[in-house]
Structure 1
Amino acid sequence: MPISIYDPFHTPGGALKRLPLLKAAVTFIAAVCLCLCGLLYLQLEQSRRHDVESARIASATLTRAMAQQAQDTFLQADLVLASLIDWIQIDGFGPAVQPRLQQTFARRVQSLEQLHGLFLFDKHGHWVVTSFENLHRGAGVADREYFVFHQQNASLIAHIGPAIRSRQNGEWIIPVSRRLNDQDGNFQGVLMAGIKMSYFERFFKSFSLDEQGEMALALSDGTLLARRPFDEGRIGHPLAQENIYNHALAGGMSGDALIRSAIDGVVRLYGHQHLQAYPLVVTAAMSEESILAGWHDRAFQSSLIVGLVVLGICLFGWVFVRQVRNSEKIEADLRKAQEALALIATHDSLTGLANRRLFERALDIEFGRGARQRSPLSLIMLDIDFFKHYNDAYGHVAGDHCLAEVAKVLKSCCHRKADLAVRYGGEEFAVLLPDTNLAGAMALAEQIRRSVIDKHITHSGSPTGYLTVSLGCYAFVPSSLDSIEVFIQRADAALYQAKHGGRNRVAVLSTEGGLDTLARSDR
C-alpha cells in the first residue's frame, strides 16, 4: 500500500506543476537572440531600400540632365542645318556661291563648340563645300550610312547616324544630316553636321561617377554613339546584348533597373531617358557596390554591435543555464536525501520492513478507509520462537541475519501493494492486511509459517531443531468507535495464545473476544 510521505518540494494540492525552468530559460534566450537578429535584418533591409531609392532618384536626375544636354546639342546643330538648307535651296551651291558657303559654314562651326564641321555633298556623294578651308579631294561619301539613308528616303527631317571617323581628319564624330532636293523634289545631295564625340566625353566627365559607373548616348536601336569610359572597339556597334537597352526599348520614356551587365558581369543600377525630339536614348549606370558602400559599412557596424549583444546574452544564458542545472542537481540530491531520510524514518534499517512509525500511520489511514467503505481489516502478529536461545547459541550477528531472513519471507508472502509488513520490535513482526477478512489472514499466516520452516534455518535451541514462528490473527470491520490500540492488543493476544499453545502455530482471536487456536504445526 503506498503511504504518502511529506515532500517539501511537492506543490500543495497537486494542481500546479513546477515550470521547466531550464527549457523556459533556453527558449527565452533563443527568442531574444532571434528577435534581435530579426530587428537587425529589418533595419538593414529598410536602410538598403532607402539607399537604392536615393540612387534611383539620383539616376533619374542624372539621365534627365544628360537627355536635356544631348537634345540641346543636336537641336542647335539641326537648326544650323535647317537654316543652311533653306539658303542653299534658294541660291543653289554652284561654283559662284561656294566661297561664300564655305565662310558661312566656318562661322557657324566657330559659334557652336560641339561642331566638328559642316559638309555638303552632291547627289553622287562627292565633296562640294566644307567648313574647312581645304576641300577634301578623296573618295566621296556615297558609302556612308547617312548618305544612303537620304538617297533612299524622301524625308526632309534630320537624320542622326552611327558614329564615324571623319574622312577630313580622322576624328570621331556623330553625323546629323538633312536631305537636299531640287525644285522638283528630286534628290540633290546631303548637308551634314559632324558633332564631336569628344564634346560628349567632356560633358560626361563633368559628372561624378564611381569607377565602375557608365554613361552612354545611343540610338534608339541600341547603337552606341558615345560612352564613358570611352571604348573605341564598341563605338558604332549594336548593343542589343546589353539588357538595359532591351529594358529601355520595352519601357516608357524613362526608367531604371538593377541589371547585371552582359559585358563585364557587374550589377549596376541603369537609368535611361529617351529624347523627345530625336531617336536617341541616354543611359547612366552606377554600380550596386558603390550605391551600397555606405550601407555595407553601416551593416557591418550594426551587425558587430548586435553580434556582441547576442554573444553577451548567450554568455549570460550559458552561465544562467549552468546555474539552473546546478540548482536542479542540488534539488535532485536534496530529493534523494529526503527520500533516504524518509526511508530511514519509516523503515527498519536491518530488515527493510516498515517500522512502527509507518505502521501507526497506515493504521490511521486504513481505519478511516475501512470505516467509510465498511471493509474488513486484518492484522497478523508473529514472533520468532526461542529467539533468545538463538542469539545465545549463534551470536547477535547470526541473530540479525535470522531476522533478515524472516523479513524476506514476509516480503515474499505479501503480494498485494496494500499489504504492509512491519518489524514491530525485536523479533516480533506484524502484517497489516486491508480489505482482508479473517480467513484470508489465517491463510496468509499459515503460508508465512510454512515458508519460514522451508528456509531450514538451524536452531539448536528449538525442540524442532530449526527456526519456527508463532502467529496470531485478528480481523474485524472498523468503525469510528473502535480503538487502534485495542485492535493491536487483540492481535497480540492471539499471538500469545499461539506461543502458550506450544509455538509454531497460528492462533485466531474471534470477534466475540474469545480465542480460537488453530493447532497447526509440523509434527
Structure 2
Amino acid sequence: MPIPIQDPDQAPGGALKRLPLLKAAVLFIATVCLCLGVLLYLQLEQSRRHDLELARVASSNLTRAMAQQAEDAFMKADLVLTSLVDWIQVDGYGTAQRPRLQKTLARRVQALGQLHGIFLFDKQGQWIVTSFEDMPRGPGVADREYFKFHQQNASTIAHVGPAIRSRQNGEWIIPVSKRVNDKNGNFQGVLLAGIKMAYFDQFFKSFSIDDNGSMFLALTDGTLLARRPFVESQIGSSLAKGDIFQKHLPNAPAGDAMINSVVDGTVRLYGYRQLDAYPLVVSAASSRDSILKDWYGTAFQSSVIVALVVMGIGLFGWVFVRQVRLGERVEADLRKAKDALKLIATHDSLTGLANRRLFEQALDIEFGRGARQSSSLSLIMLDIDYFKRYNDAYGHVAGDHCLAEVARAVKSCCHRKADLAVRYGGEEFAVLLPDTNIQGALVIAEQIRHSVMGKNITHSGSPTGYLTVSLGCYAFVPNALDTIEVLIERADAALYQAKHSGRNRVAVLSMEGGVEALMRSDR
C-alpha cells in the first residue's frame, strides 16, 4: 500500500482546483473591453436613432405645412377659374364681353399673388382674352398638354399640368386649367391660370433646411413641378422611378423614408405627402449627413475616449499579466525547490533511497495498519560485506559508487509501490515489505543478494573476490504488545547472524512455539 503523503496545496477530504489566475485575468480584461465597446455601440445607436426620430418629426411637420400651402394655392386658383368659367359659359366671350372680361381677369390676378396670369383660349387654342393688356401673338396653345387634355376629356374639374414656360413672357408657371363648354356641353375652349414657379421657390426658401436638403412639388405621376434647389434642367423630369413613387406612395399617402435620390444621388431622409384635393405630391428632405453631423462628432469623441480607456486597460492588463506570469514562474520555482527540499528531507542524496526519517514515518504507518488489519509486516536488513576493506582498497569515491550500485540493486527488487527501500546508515540498507510474510521476505532477500552479485563488482578484500551482501529477515503480525523497535531489533539480529555465519547469505528469524529459530540461506 502506498504511503499517504499529505499535499499542503490540497484541503483535507478532497482536492481543491487552483484558480487559473492568468486565464481569469485575460478573460476579465477582455470582458471589460468588450462591455465598454458594447455600451459605446448601444449608446451611439440610441443617440443615432433619437436624432433620426427628431428629423422624421421635423420632416413630417414640414411636409404637412407644404401640403397645406400648396393645396391653398391651387384651391384659390381653382375657385377663381370655377367662378370665371361659370360666367363665361353663361355670358359667352364675344367681342362686347372681352373688355369687361379682361379687367375681371386682371383683378383676379392682382388679388392672388401666386398667379402669373389668367388666359382664355378658344376651341382652336387661340388667345381670346388674358389678364395682360397686350394680347400675345403666335400659333396659339393647341400643342400644350393641358389644352389636349380638356379637348379630349369632358371633365369639368381643374386640371394641373406639367410646368411650362409662359408664351406671354417666358416665365416658368404651373398651369391650372378648366374646360369651357357651350350651353350644349360642347368644347368651346380652355381657361388657364398660371401659378408662378417663383411663388413656390420663395415659399420653399422660407424653410430652414441644410445645404444638401431638398424640397419638391410633383404630380402624382412623378412629373417634377418645382424643386429646391431650383435646377431648370430638372423641371419636368420624371421621379416616377424613385422609391417614393415606386414603393412608398402606393402603400401610404404620407410618411418618411431614407432614400438615395434619383436626381443627385444624395442619401436623404424624405418626408412625403399626397394632397387630398389635387393630384400633387410634396416632399421635404434633409441629407443624412446633416442630420447626423452632431452625432458623428459625438461618436468620434466617445470612440476616442473609449479607445483610450481600452488602451489603458489593455496596458494595465499587459503589466498585470506579466506580473502574473512572473508570479507563476516564481511559484513554479518555489514548488520545485519545495519538492527538492522534500526529497532532501526524506531521501538519501547519494543513493536516492528513502532515509531513516521517511523509513520511520512509513514504519509507523504500516505498523498501525498491520495491527488493524492483522496483516503480516516484513523487514529486511542488509549490510555490504567487508565494506571497510573496499573503501581502504579503492577509496571513498569508489565506495560511494559501490553504495549507489547496491542501492540500485535493492530498489530493482522492490516491485510494489508499497515496498520501501531505505539507506539505513553507512553501508547498511533496509527494505520494508507491507502485507508480506516471512517466505515472501526470504524470496525478496535472495533476489537482492543475487542482484548485487550479478553486478560483478570487484572486491579484493572479499573471499569471493566480488562484492556481496548479507541479509536478515523478520516478519510478524503486529499487535498491541509489539513495538517498532522490536521489529528492527529482530531483523537486525537476523542480519547479525547472517554475517557471523559466513556472510553472503540470508538469515531469517521466526517464532516457532514461542522460540526464535534461525534459518540461513546461502544458495
Using structure 1 for the length normalisation, give the TM-score.
Answer: 0.96
Q: 2-side partners of 1:11 and 1:18: how far apart?
A: 11
Q: Deviations over 1:468-508 (max 9, x none)?
A: 10000111112233200000010000000000000000000
Contact 2:511 2:517 in 1 (8 A): no
5+ residue gaps, structure 2: none
Equivalent residue, structure 1, for 2:238: 238
Q: 2-side partners of 1:411 and 1:357: how far apart?
A: 18
Instruction: Give the alignment of 1:136-215 within 5 angstroms.
Output: 136-215=136-215
Instruction: Give the alignment of 1:331-342 within 5 angstroms.
Output: 331-342=331-342
Contact 1:378 1:437 in 2 (8 A): yes
Equivalent residue, structure 2, for 1:32: 32
Q: 2-side partners of 1:8 and 1:444: how far apart?
A: 35
Structure 1 residues 50 and 519: alpha-carbon distance in aligned structure 2, compared to 1, 3 A threshold: closer
Deviation beyond 6 Å, 4+ runs, structure 1: none
Equivalent residue, structure 2, for 1:445: 445
Structure 1 residues 89 and 263: alpha-carbon distance in aligned structure 2, compared to 1, 3 A threshold: closer
What letter is aligned with 1:50? H
Q: What's the C-alpha RMSD, in Å, of the aligned pairs?
A: 1.5
Q: Deviations over 1:38-74 (max 9, x none)?
A: 2222211111111111011000000011111111111
Residue 250 of structure 1 aligns to a residue in which SS? coil
- C-alpha displacement of 1:16: 3.1
Q: 2-side partners of 1:264 and 1:445: how far apart?
A: 104
Q: Deviations over 1:448-485 (max 9, x none)?
A: 11111111111111111111100001111122332000
Q: 2-side partners of 1:299 and 1:488: how far apart?
A: 85
What letter is aligned with 1:518? R
Contact 1:494 1:515 in 2 (8 A): no
Q: 2-side partners of 1:42 and 1:503: how far apart?
A: 90
Equivalent residue, structure 1, for 2:266: 266
Q: Deviations over 1:386-417 (max 9, x none)?
A: 11111111111111111011011011111211
What letter is aligned with 2:172? W
Structure 1 residues 262 and 249: alpha-carbon distance in aligned structure 2, compared to 1, 3 A threshold: same
Equivalent residue, structure 1, for 2:425: 425
Contact 1:497 1:515 in 2 (8 A): no
Q: Deviations over 1:322-362 (max 9, x none)?
A: 22222222111111111000000000011111000000001
**Which stretch of the first structure deviates more once superposed, 23-32 or 215-224?**
23-32
Equivalent residue, structure 1, for 2:386: 386
Q: Deviations over 1:165-191 (max 9, x none)?
A: 111222211100011111111111100
Q: 2-side partners of 1:225 and 1:414: how far apart?
A: 108
Q: 2-side partners of 1:294 and 1:246: how far apart?
A: 32
Contact 2:258 2:269 in 1 (8 A): yes
Q: Deviations over 1:343-385 (max 9, x none)?
A: 0000001111100000000101111221222221111100000
Pair 1:281 & 2:289 matched: no
Q: 2-side partners of 1:266 and 1:137: how far apart?
A: 43
Instruction: Give the alignment of 1:111-510 within 5 angstroms.
Output: 111-510=111-510
**Which stretch of the first structure deviates more once superposed, 350-359 or 260-269?**
260-269
Q: 2-side partners of 1:389 and 1:365: how far apart?
A: 37
**Which stretch of the first structure deviates more once superposed, 45-54 or 18-27?**
18-27
What letter is aligned with 2:516? G
Pair 1:516 & 2:522 matched: no
Equivalent residue, structure 2, for 1:60: 60
Residue 510 of structure 1 aligns to a residue in which SS? strand
- C-alpha displacement of 1:14: 2.9
Structure 1 residues 424 and 46: alpha-carbon distance in aligned structure 2, compared to 1, 3 A threshold: same
Q: 1-side partners of 2:408 and 2:380: how far apart?
A: 16
Identity of counterpart residues, as a percentage?
74
Q: 2-side partners of 1:37 and 1:91: how far apart?
A: 80
Residue 321 of structure 1 aligns to a residue in which SS? helix
Q: Deviations over 1:125-161 (max 9, x none)?
A: 1111112222112011111111111111111111101
What letter is aligned with 1:125? G
Q: 2-side partners of 1:482 and 1:324: how far apart?
A: 54
What letter is aligned with 2:252? G
- C-alpha displacement of 1:302: 1.8
Contact 1:507 1:515 in 2 (8 A): no
What letter is aligned with 1:239? L
Structure 1 residues 264 and 516: alpha-carbon distance in aligned structure 2, compared to 1, 3 A threshold: farther
Contact 1:255 1:273 in 2 (8 A): yes
Contact 2:348 2:354 in 1 (8 A): yes
Structure 1 residues 33 and 355: alpha-carbon distance in aligned structure 2, compared to 1, 3 A threshold: same
**Which stretch of the first structure deviates more once superposed, 296-305 or 55-64?**
296-305
Using structure 2 for the length normalisation, give the TM-score.
Answer: 0.96
Q: 1-side partners of 2:480 and 2:155: how far apart?
A: 127
- C-alpha displacement of 1:265: 3.2
What letter is aligned with 2:305? I
5+ residue gaps, structure 1: none
Q: 2-side partners of 1:519 and 1:108: how far apart?
A: 147
Contact 1:475 1:511 in 2 (8 A): no
What letter is aligned with 2:487? F
Q: Deviations over 1:88-124 (max 9, x none)?
A: 2222111122122222222222222211111100011
- C-alpha displacement of 1:15: 4.3
